[in-house]
Structure 1
Amino acid sequence: MSKKIIIIGAGPGGLASAMLLTEQGHDVHIYEKAAEIGGRTALLKQDGFSFDLGPTALNMPNVLTALFADCNRNIQDYIKLVSLDPLYSLYIEDIIFSPSADQDRTKREIASLFPGEEEHYDRFMHDNAKKMIYLLPLWQEPFSSLWSVFRLRTLRALPSLTLGNHLIDELAKYFEDKRLRLAFSFETKFLGMSPWETPGAFSVIPFAEHYFGIFHIVGGINRLTHAMSEIVQENGGTIHLNQRVQQINTAAKKITSITLENGETVEGDYFFLNADYAYTMSHLFSQTKAPVSLKKLDKKKYSCSGFAMYLGLDTTLPLNVHTVLFPSDFRIHMDEIMRQQIIPEDLSIHLTYPAAVDKTVAPRNMSTLRILVPVPNNDSKINWEQERSALRQLILKTIEKKLDFVDLESHILTEKIITPHDWEKDYHIFKGAIFNLTHQLSQLGPFRPNKIPAIKNMKIVGGASHPANSLPFILESANIVVRQFNKEIT
């Protein structure tokens, strides 16, 4: 029987849920506060230049291909994927490490920069291939209660979870050179954590990048969410843009309706929440009716934030699509961000330069540069209006020094900066924590907000839910909640 389903938020999780639900014939309505679809994966346009607001790379494309296939679509009819080689260039201390999607080429690169470590790379890839086989079923497990941990598939995977080991310790089993360990763990900052705190199971993330490769979507990752929205609408779903949800209304342990900013009330049978989880719980329910304890919500551990710069340049640069500049001591750097909650003087900088493979994002002979610098979230009480200008100058000077660029500032035609304050105020991201809840063991699996017992007809999808905050995992979260929904209505 067809149900009327309301989805709050047109991010990847909400769109993936809508694709699957409309394919099954349900009446789906997505309400999005912004003028663009995509959430943190939206398109940012300015003065003829196009940027990805958030994620800029795609890995584990098999998850995406499977989603489109489940909707009887061929992904190649909607987007064009470009395999990146090298995957990225990592500037670590005195070396530049540029691993390849070709594992043999990566081994030669390792042999050149880290003699003797190339055989360790083989062992790392072999062991993590087995680890992924065991972990994959866990990513697809609903974990609707603590008892889920005792299911056979979970118990079978426990040895692969390397409980008690942090990622940096796990990598020490394979690589002797600390620079190489950093090269296989820097991705954890996109989980909002330090590799000295991230569970060892997450070694499958660098493995997946080296095994499946990293891809650029022509036009940017935002083209993916546009393709997803096309399928939703082809299937009869409706996407309501510029429609901010003001209030979620409940009665008898159910959501009855939502109230929009314009005063309109919209009823539905089921409600899928794809907006930022903590923001939704603390702002869209009245405090007396919030389905979770707001005190407990505030005490959860949240990721770092990001200081983002979007530059339209009147020139081109000798860069790969992805370049990461490391601080001299990454451990101290992450401690300053996560524990001391101060702005580091020695920065970690991720540069995204799509013009290396994509000429569609900027006018002829020009280019775009997206700069992302991890910084503390808004628990830090940093005054970003005061710090904005100085940090901007430090970022540009650091890039010029480490990449031997001359006067990058003079080539900037257009510019936008988003601070942690902006992420919270304008994008409704709780504490400006752009990578959502952190991923220590106490906030994984059944300990993520997968189900709220106080509300029977609500599903939570997106980066805060199981499995994790990364695009492939967010798409898996949509698969999980739609399967749960199907069981409940049969």
Structure 2
Amino acid sequence: MMTRVDPTLKAAQDAQARPHAVVVGAGLGGLAAAMRLGAKGYRVTVIDRLDSLGGRGSCLHRDGHRFDLGPTIVTVPQVFRELWAACGREFDKDVDLRPLTPFYEIRWPDGSRFTAQQDTDAMRAEVSRLSPDDAAGYDRFLRDSEARYEFGFEDLGRRSMHRLGDLLKVLPRFAMLRADRSVHAHAAKRFRDPRLRMAFSFHPLFIGGDPFHVTSMYILVSHLEKAFGVHYAIGGVAAIADAMGRVIESQGGLMRLGCEVDEILVRDGRAQGVRLATKETVEADVVVSNADSGHTYDHLLRNRPRRRWTTRKLKRTRWSMSLFVWYFGTRGTANMWGDVGHHTILNGPRYKGLVRDIFIKGRLAEDMSLYVHRPSRTDPGVAPEGGDTFYALSPVPHLGHDDPVDWASEGDTYRKRVQAVLEDQLLPGLGAHLTASEVFTPDTFRDRYLSPYGTGFSIEPRILQSAWFRPHNVSEEAKGLYLVGAGTHPGAGLPGVISSAEVLGKLVPDAAAVNAR
């Protein structure tokens, strides 16, 4: 996909007179940044090495199945609505977003289950069903979650944190909210039942964080779910990415897909454009990188001395885990497995021990926990008639640990282990109905997305790797260089990467101001 504009048209000539912004990467953060810049009057070019929009939110088509490759849950839809409104558009006219009820089901090896949903009374009843003594703790946890949402998301998450002074001003609030305590430690303060401690602490895994070490600020997710619901976009997140592309095109933007940026060009201390792998240069007044922050600094700026994000510092950084994802289709199953909904979480026999193996020891454990996505329950178009489309996701160690997993030899064995767990605990008889199949390992994340160590979510969101401590949205390495996406502030997850572009919009001067220089 490449937009071509007739240079003889007056609109095209006017566009050429506008300041030029180059966005490296067509993930959701990069596309949101392009929309914000287009709304500020820039002529925008988005460059991505893949052949479709969306980055990790893109999709694959196999034998009539559409596999959503990355994020599947849309929370805080107002960040999208506000983004569209900034561009003079209406999100709900471009994207068919469906609320899910229930949100997801959590299952444990002992046969117990927990159904997460938006209604507070129903959630309180679920808590009481598992552990009557924990109902009061649930109410306290909700209040804790809302307080952290107001501070962590609506305040810190929607403004730049690149100045040390901004951090110093909020330290008392961090202390009051016990940001030093982990998500799991906070859940343990409110719930006695270990199943409920898991149910209200696992969310950081969806953004690459170890629940036993990530700051308790991330319990804000429970408030997000309650206040705004959990949604699914018909057509998957790829449909949102395609809608973003159409907005960018309507602003006169250009998408260059199948083109890899090899270097960000810096002259006289200012980002001046990019050089492609083909040696072509693209000049720009502003450069925005939606590539992983580690790749941005260690590769795209490899020929520049760096003051903060040096190779040594990046090697000392704690990175998120990686993912093993099995995408598979089935035939003749539309009326099977009736109790399996859109989202299911299957817990293995261990919680803390498994997380420790993944994040700390860096070893592939014998047991596993799985997140299972069955979008065909909501979106029949993802599969041929009578069939289903699934993916099963297992958190696994990234490739940066000592003695990393050799996925070339282990991948098929691990896929069979995943299938065995599914057949035993969720989808009996699965093997007889399998059709299409695709596997992503940490090697895929490294090679497809240029993700350091094959991580699934870039830098882990620990307290000393969040806010000011995280790579900033405005780079200190070159003027005119900005970062968006999971590896910068505020962090991973759809609300985070879309908010990173909102922060960008507050940092980049309007195009008129650039023209006046």
TM-score, normalising length from structure 2?
0.91
Q: Match for residue 132 of structure 2?
A: 115
Q: Does 1:15 align with 2:31?
A: yes
In the alignment, structure 1 residue 302 sits paired with structure 2 residue 319: yes
Instruction: Indicate which of 421, 426, 429 corresponds to 1:398.
Output: 421
Residues in 2 aligned to 1:60 and 1:475: alpha-carbon distance in whole angstroms: 10
1:27-38 pair list within 5 angstroms: 27-38=43-54
Corresponding position of 1:150: 168
- Answer with 288-297 or 41-50: which moved more: 288-297
2:204 and 2:144 map into 1 onto residues whose CA distance is: 19
Contact 2:321/2:395 (8 A) holds in 1: yes
* Corresponding position of 1:364: 385
Q: Secondary structure at the match of 1:173?
A: helix
Q: Classify 1:57/1:160 alpha carbon distance in 2 versus 1 (closer, same or farther; 3 Å).
A: farther
Partner of 1:389: 412
Residues of 2 paired with 1:5 and 1:288: CA distance?
21
Shift of 1:378: 0.5
Partner Cα distance (2:496, 2:206) in 1: 13
The answer (yes or no) to whether the contact 1:194–1:331 under 8 Å persists in 2 is no
How far off its partner does 1:287 sit? 4.2
How many angstroms apart in 2 are the aligned matches of 1:45 and 1:161? 45
Match of 1:409 in 2: 431
Out of 344, 352, 375, the residue aligned to residue 373 of structure 2 is 352
Cα-to-partner distance string for 1:196-240 (whole Å, 9 max, x where unaligned): 111111111122113321111111111111111111111111111
The more displaced of 332-341 and 123-132 is: 123-132
- What displacement does 1:127 show? 3.1
Equivalent position to 1:203, from 197, 219, 231:
219
- The more displaced of 245-254 and 35-44 is 245-254
CA distance in 1, matches of 2:388, 2:102: 19
- Residue 415 of structure 2 aligns with an amino acid whose one-letter code is R
2:264, 2:82 → 1: CA distance?
33
Q: Distance in 1 between matches of 2:330 and 2:107?
A: 23
Cross-structure match for 1:124: 141
Mapped partners of 2:40, 2:449: distance in 1:
31
Deviations 1:317-361 (A, max 9, x none): 432111001111110001111111111111010000011111111
Matches of 1:235 and 1:288, distance apart in 2:
33
Worse-superposed segment, 267-276 or 124-133: 124-133
Q: What's the Cα RMSD here?
A: 1.7
Q: Which amino acid aligns with 1:205?
A: V
Q: 2-side partners of 1:12 and 1:185: how far apart? A: 26
Give the deviation of 1:42 after TM superposition: 0.7
Assess if the C-alpha contact under 8 Å between 2:145 and 2:222 holds in 1.
Answer: no
Distance 1:454 1:406 in 2: 54
- Are 2:298 and 1:282 equivalent residues in the alignment? yes
Q: Distance in 1 between matches of 2:300 and 2:247?
A: 28
In the TM superposition, residue 38 of structure 1 has moved relative to its aligned partner by 0.5
The 8 Å contact of residues 439 and 468 in structure 1, kept in 2 or not, is answered as: yes
Is 2:451 the partner of 1:429? yes
Identical positions, percent = 28
How do residues 222-233 of structure 1 correspond to structure 2 at under 5 angstroms?
Answer: 222-233=238-249
Amino acid at match of 1:249: L
| Bigger mean CA offset, 60-69 vs 23-32 | 60-69
Q: 1:464 aligns with which of 487, 494, 503?
A: 487
Aligned to 2:5: none
State the partner residue of 2:349: 328
Measure the CA separation in 1 of the matches of 2:450 and 2:56.
10
- Report the CA distance between 1:266 and its aligned residue: 0.8
Checking the alignment, whether the CA contact within 8 Å between 2:145 and 2:221 is kept in structure 1 is no
C-alpha offsets along residues 292-317 of structure 1, whole Å, 9 cap, x if unaligned? 31111121110000001110111234
Is 1:163 the counterpart of 2:179 in the alignment? Answer: yes
**For 1:100-121, what per-residue CA distance to the aligned partner results, in whole angstroms no more than 9, with x for missing partners?**
1222212222222222322322
Give, in angstroms, the shift of residue 157 of structure 1. Answer: 3.2
Secondary structure at 1:117 match in 2: helix
Residue by residue over 1:341-396, the C-alpha shift from the partner in whole angstroms, topping out at 9 and shown as x without a partner, is 11111101000001111111111111100111000001132110111121111111
Name 1:63's counterpart in structure 2.
79
User: Partner of 1:59: helix, strand, or coil?
Assistant: coil
Match of 2:151 in 1: 134
Deviation of residue 155 (structure 1)?
A: 4.9
Q: Mean Cα displacement is larger for which, 459-468 or 182-191? A: 182-191
Aligned 8 A contact 2:306 2:477 in 1: no
Q: How many residues align?
A: 487
- Cα distance between partner residues in 1 of 2:475 and 2:44: 22
Aligned to 2:97: 81
Q: Distance in 2 between matches of 1:225 and 1:343?
A: 33
Preserved contact between residue 185 and residue 206 of structure 1 (Cα < 8 Å) = no
Q: Which segment drifts farther, 286-295 or 325-334?
A: 286-295
Q: Which runs of 5+ in 2 are unaligned?
A: 1-16
Tell me the distance in 2 between the aligned counterparts of 1:400 and 1:160: 47
Check conservation: 1:436, 1:464, Cα contact below 8 A.
Answer: yes
Deviation sequence 1:242-283 (CA, Å, 0-9, x none): 111122222221222312223321101010000112122222
Aligned residue type for 2:114: F
Cα distance in 2, alignment partners of residues 437 and 196 from structure 1: 16
The alpha carbon displacement at 1:148 in A equals 1.4
Q: TM-score, normalised by structure 1?
A: 0.95
Alignment of 1:445 onto 2:461: no
For residues 420 and 238 of structure 1, the distance between their equivalents in structure 2, rounded to whole angstroms, comes to 31
Letter in 2 for 1:46: R
Cα deviation digits, residues 37-80 of structure 1 (max 9, x gap): 10111122112111111101111112222111222211110111
SS of the aligned residue for 2:381 comes to coil
- Does structure 1 retain, via aligned residues, the 8 Å contact 2:272–2:287? no
